[in-house]
Amino acid sequence: MPEILYVSYERLSPEWIADDFCPVLPDLVIEIISPGQTFGQLTAKAKDYLDAGVLRVWVVDSKARSITVFYPDAPPQTYMGDTLLIDSLFEGLELTAEQVFNKAGIPNTILPS
């Protein structure tokens, strides 16, 4: 179950040493659906993260080529194709699910209808 965590430097104490345990919750957790996992399982995990105080959770589904963003105070949003993902939490970040999958070298196996 791959996951990536992001913590902004603004939330870290100036005394924090990079090799020490991180003293704050991450701003963002990215969960990547692995074989044997379901979207529903990661949705429940996303809720747990948000309940703990994480600000954003992204669930990445390479089969559906989608990124679903979970918020603590709004319904989740799913981004696919060239729909622009912009989030006020990450100023200046603009990307699409298609850019993410192309950059990662994940081929598009979904056949057009």
Q: pLDDT digits over 15-71, tens only?
A: 766 666 666 778 899 999 888 888 888 999 999 999 999 999 999 998 899 999 999
Beta-carbon-side half-sphere exposure of residue 82 (alpha carbons within 13 Å) = 0
Above 80 in pLDDT, residue 111?
Answer: no
Q: 59: which DSSP letter? A: E
More confident residue, 64 or 8: 64
Is-contact 31 45, C-beta < 8 A? yes
